[in-house]
Amino acid sequence: QTRVSEHELQLQHVRQMSLERDQTELRRLEKEWSDRLDGVRGVATATESTLQATLDCMSCKAVSVFAARFPRKLQTIFFTAWGRLAQRCRLERDCAEKISVLETARTKAEERCARQAREEADQRARQDGERREQVARAEEEIGDLKGRLAQAVEYRVQLEALAKETENRRASQDADAESEWLARVGVEEAARSDAEERLSAALTAHALSEERWLRKLREAEDRRAREESERDVQVAQEAEGRDLVERRLMQVEASEIEHRRKELEASRFAE
């Protein structure tokens, strides 16, 4: 149980580190796009202010007359500035949409991680409760068997004392009394054999119960490992933005954890 607890703590630490890396990456992307958006907004605001000031000083007719007075090259520069302003406005809008998407993804990831943490805590609580109940039942069975064993030992001591008394009386009594005592000893020996058989059957039943308990425990561990593997696969599918190195690292860690869990289970079963 101590090794299993350490194993679960290591797995929880690995998941916490993965969650922290995801949150760090989301914050970095959010800051990067926010900085880009601020820069684009600054340039767009300056350009828009300049052009708006120019247009405020002129009417539409004056702009045409003003543009007609200058060469085509200056007119091209003027309209190019308008095109750049429109392009920067579109870039600002795209940046805002991307930041909104990143914030939504971060919120969903935090909610999913919190939900998984609650589910894992509930599942561990249920499993701990089941294990405590199974251990309590096993201790009760062991205590019952110990009580039966003590009674059998006491009964055996009494039978040995009775056998010694029978041997002492056998030397001093006649043949009838001797045959009577022999019959009584035979009955008591049969009863002792019956008691020893019942004790052996009880020990066998306890061994079968313990083996059945261990098998249920292994099945629960396998089921939990499959659920964790399915959740890891689901998390890996949802986190498509991660790079290939981190996903391989997580797969290697998961396989190592599964291998250690199987070794722990094998050693526990051997014990």
**Band of the pLDDT at 242, cuts 50, 70, 90?**
low
Average pLDDT of the chain, as a whole number: 74
Burial of 34 (0-12, 13-18, 19+ CB in 10 A): middle
- Number of alpha carbons in the 13 Å side-chain half-sphere of residue 52: 7
Q: Using the predicted structure, report yes or no on whether residue 43 has a pLDDT greater than 80.
A: no
Length of the chain: 271
Least confident of 43-47, 128-132, 170-174: 43-47
Separation of alpha carbons 189 and 168, rounded Å: 17
Cβ proximity of 259 and 6 under 8 Å? no
Separation of alpha carbons 123 and 129, rounded Å: 10
Separation of alpha carbons 12 and 31, rounded Å: 28
What's the pLDDT score for residue 150? Answer: 86
Separation of alpha carbons 95 and 38, rounded Å: 10
- HEC profile of 31-72: HHHHHHHHHHHHHHHHHHHHHHHHHHCCCHHHHHHHHHHCCH
The secondary structure of 87-150 as a DSSP string is HHHHHHHHHHHHHHHHHHHHHHHHHHHHHHHHHHHHHHHHHHHHHHHHHHHHHHHHHHHHHHHH
What's the pLDDT score for residue 264? Answer: 82
CA pseudo-torsion sign 112, 118, 121, 122: negative
* Residue 109, both tokens: 């990831």
Separation of alpha carbons 130 and 201, rounded Å: 27
- Within 10 angstroms of residue 46's Cβ, the number of other Cβ atoms is 10
What's the pLDDT score for residue 166? Answer: 81
Q: Using the predicted structure, report yes or no on whether residue 136 has a pLDDT greater than 50.
A: yes
Cβ proximity of 199 and 147 under 8 Å? no
What's the pLDDT score for residue 59? Answer: 44
What pTM, to 2 d.p., does this model score? 0.28
- Reported as a single tens digit per residue, the pLDDT across 171-225 is 776 667 677 777 788 888 888 888 788 888 878 877 787 788 888 888 878 888 8
Separation of alpha carbons 149 and 152, rounded Å: 5
Separation of alpha carbons 114 and 237, rounded Å: 18
Q: Using the predicted structure, report yes or no on whether residue 22 has a pLDDT greater than 50.
A: yes
